[in-house]
Amino acid sequence: MVNFLLRRVYLLCITALILTVIAFSLEHWTVHTQIEGNILTHYLDYLVSIGQGDFGLSITNNEPIFRTGLVAFASTLELCLFAFLIASVIGIPLGVFAGLERNNGLDYTIMSIALIGLALPVFWVAIIFTVLPNAIGWMMPIDGNISPLFEVPVVTGFLFIDSLLVTEQYQFDAFINHMAHIILPSSVLAIFLISEIIRLTRHAITMVMKSNYIKAALTKGLTRRQIVFRHVLKNALPPIIYQLRLQISTIISFSMAIEIVFSYQGAGMWLFASIQQEDYLVLPSAILIISGFILIKSILIDLLLVIISPIKRKSLYADQ
């Protein structure tokens, strides 16, 4: 276990180092800094300043890029997590049904829904969703993360927590307002996630149902319900988590596109606005923030996988 952990941390360090090299060369390329003297000492200086959390100042509003980027990325994460919550509540039961009733009418219906969800371009669905409340006659906010009426100070960057911290001022109004703002963008993202989760769950369930211990359980005389709850669900979980881990960068890509349609103040909007103002210093910082998050998260998920399934302990490379 300790050996595994050491190996993962070592891999993380190497990957992080390569990422800083990429970010460093990108910064030199886009900002056209004149290099005087040794490039290695420049790189070391860069590493030291990154270590202190100093990514430079934005040329448009003179604020530290690192802090702005972290706050923006926190709202992206909030969006992703909320969408993931919706998607797993809807997707996992559907996937389990499809996997258990394989090649059945129900299975075909669920899989067609999943196929349609994967084929829809997310930004187009987002546009449809911005028009939809107006067409149906609902009152739903379609831009921003929170109404400008509420002045919520940035403490953690996650608006759900921050809006709870100002309850003595606004009661729960800020929280509910933020909830109303996040529902439409996250349901767009959830459409993609639901189809992905259905596909993965169905595949994992069919793989487990083929295995010998299920046959053994059947011969033992357990009912179908007992088999599903005792054996199938527990053993189908690790491959689903493992595959979803590989999808996280796609999910972040999609959520960045969705944010731009809904003008939701997240990482996508931050990047888009900065690029339009030709503030190219944000690009290396965005790489470092987003990839750093993905790296740390992949280690955490690896640890989780090792805890719930001992087979994974032998794998050497962090196969992203």
Partner 1 sequence: MLINNEFNEQKIQSPLQYIWSIFKSKNITVIAMWAVFFLIIVSIFADSILPYSHTLQHPEMRLLPPYWVDGASVNHILGTDDLGRDTLSRLLKGMQLTLLGALLITFSISILGLIIGATASLMKGVKASIMHHFLDALLTIPTLLTAIILIILFGVSYENSLLAVSLSLLPQFIRGIYICIENELNKQHVIALRLDGATNLRLLRYGIFPNIIEPLTTLLNRVFTMAILEITTLGFLGFGANSEQVELGYLISKSLELVYLSPYLALFPGIAIFLIIIVFNIFSEGIRHSVIEGEE
- Closer residue to partner 1 in complex, CB, 29/172: 29
Q: Quick one: which segment of 7-15, 88-96, 139-147, 231-239 binds partner 1 (CB under 8 A)?
A: 7-15
Shortest spacing between CB 124 and partner 1, in angstroms: 4
Shortest spacing between CB 14 and partner 1, in angstroms: 5
Nearest to 15 by CA among 307, 315, 299, 310: 299
**Residue 142 engages partner 1 in binding (rule: CB under 8 A):** no
Residues 111-140 that bind partner 1 (CB under 8 A): 115-116, 118-125, 127-128, 130-131, 134
- Closer residue to partner 1 in complex, CB, 19/241: 19
Nearest to 100 by CA among 221, 250, 201: 201
Nearest to 96 by CA among 87, 107, 85, 108: 107
**Residue 53 engages partner 1 in binding (rule: CB under 8 A):** no
Residues 202-261 that bind partner 1 (CB under 8 A): 249-250, 252-254, 256-257, 260
- Closer residue to partner 1 in complex, CB, 146/204: 204
Cα 12 to chain centroid, rounded: 19
Q: Quick one: which segment of 21-29, 165-173, 216-224, 233-241 binds partner 1 (CB under 8 A)?
A: 21-29
**Residue 109 engages partner 1 in binding (rule: CB under 8 A):** no
Burial pattern 266-285, b for ≥16 Cβ within 10 A else e, equals: bbbbbbebbeeeebbbbbbb
**Residue 6 engages partner 1 in binding (rule: CB under 8 A):** no
Which residues of this protein are in contact with partner 1, per CB under 8 A? 11, 14-15, 18-19, 22, 26, 29-30, 115-116, 118-125, 127-128, 130-131, 134, 249-250, 252-254, 256-257, 260, 271-272, 275, 280, 283, 286-287, 290-291, 294-295, 298, 317-320
